[in-house]
Structure 1
């Protein structure tokens, strides 16, 4: 009996000693280390094994970057600046145009006089007829299905950084799709008409720049002929009011 009592007393003393040592050891609680890999509130990390891991079911959409040309009044070209556009990862946007749509000199036999603009809508090219069977060729965006047209007009007006006033028909048409257009938009880098515009006859059609250069080579407009900003600036400087424009 005495032997058992001594063993129980020794056990109690050992337990008390361990508790005392533990209390002394943790008088100042150790710092909480927050993992840099977690973006959840730090208190979620304090529950130990009882806390379930955080699951991110909806990751942030990836960013796509395209290049936009910034051109100021009286200046031909300026360095490209990057603009990040957030979008869905399953809807990629082309950020560059095909090399064949970049400006270049080509052989071009035609009956039209030098200085004439010929737009081949089927192949997405604009030709500025030069001397000696040559032409300066640019890639263009043209009318989407149902908005194609052909004909001959004169350049009746030229404008730098033109304002944009969408026709009422366009506003109504886009509103039916859930796209709401402004009634008027001042000229500038965000304007869909881009850096320059050449107005054709008394129509609503124009040869103009764009704030969406990746659309060059596609049928996406409501009938206007769109060009990269740097290309329309180059063309703008080469042609005058009264220039003949043939659209085929």
Structure 2
């Protein structure tokens, strides 16, 4: 049976409303993981279809008492939320610290760096002596573990040693396999970097 235009529009509107009630994302950015040229580097595209859909960047409904601009990291669910206006948040999939390297607490974004240098901490060099060659810092690049961007987390005691950073290891998103830092896809850390202010509050939930 062919629906009259008005009735068809009403049905479509009801379907959209029901989808909203189901808590679906307001907007999902699955198509935003292609090749990116940035500061002379060419970031390869991410095989995003191999990453579970819940870890794709998306705007969702999110209730919190934290102010817009706050970053909330849920290490159990492997999500990072950037609080937005009007009960929304940008949600990113993340990789987190493996067992023995977890961290939780409250910090601030003290510094932001594009294509940062990575300096492995002494305990990591002790565990992996082959990293000693980077004691003075590994230059920026596509193979650098910090990826395209890094946000440096400080608290009252100073530098926590933890970072929110990019990673070329897309397969680590949604898993616990880092040395404690929070890693995002390079395309996602660029997006988060552009939306985050120095001094932003960061809440990491264990």
TM-score range, shorter chain: 0.7 to 0.9
Give the Cα separation in 2 of the matches to 1:116 and 1:81: 27
Show CA shifts across 1:124-177 (max 9, x none): 0000001111100000000000111110000000000000110111011123xx
TM-score w.r.t. structure 2 length?
Answer: 0.74
Shift of 1:105: 0.8
TM-score w.r.t. structure 1 length?
Answer: 0.62
Secondary structure of the structure 2 residue equivalent to 1:118: strand
- Tell me if 1:117 matches 2:71: yes
Matches of residues 81-230 of structure 1 in structure 2 within 5 Å?
Answer: 96-175=50-129, 180-181=130-131, 182-183=133-134, 184-201=137-154, 202-230=159-187
Give the Cα separation in 2 of the matches to 1:150 and 1:71: 34
Give the Cα separation in 1 of the matches to 2:59 and 2:171: 22
Give the Cα separation in 2 of the matches to 1:160 and 1:154: 18
Partner of residue 80, structure 1: 45
Q: Is the 8 A contact 2:46 2:170 kept in 1?
A: no
Q: Cα distance 1:167–1:189, how it changes in 2: closer, same or farther (>3 A)? A: same
Structure 2: any 5+ residue segments left out of the alignment?
A: 1-32
Runs of 4+ off more than 6 Å? none
Q: Is the 8 A contact 1:95 1:214 kept in 2?
A: no
- Tell me if 1:237 matches 2:190: no
More contact order relative to length (CA 8 Å, sep ≥ 6): 2
Which one has a bigger Cα radius of gyration? 1
Give the Cα separation in 1 of the matches to 2:43 and 2:128: 33
Give the Cα separation in 2 of the matches to 1:159 and 1:236: 9
Q: Cα distance 1:78–1:220, how it changes in 2: closer, same or farther (>3 A)? A: closer
Secondary structure of the structure 1 residue equivalent to 2:66: coil
RMSD of aligned C-alpha atoms? 2.5
Give the Cα separation in 2 of the matches to 1:101 and 1:136: 11
Secondary structure of the structure 2 residue equivalent to 1:209: strand
Structure 1: any 5+ residue segments left out of the alignment?
A: 1-66, 83-93
Secondary structure of the structure 2 residue equivalent to 1:231: helix
| More strand, by proportion | 2
Show CA shifts across 1:188-228 (max 9, x none): 11101000000000111000001211111110111100000
Shift of 1:73: 2.2
Shift of 1:74: 8.8
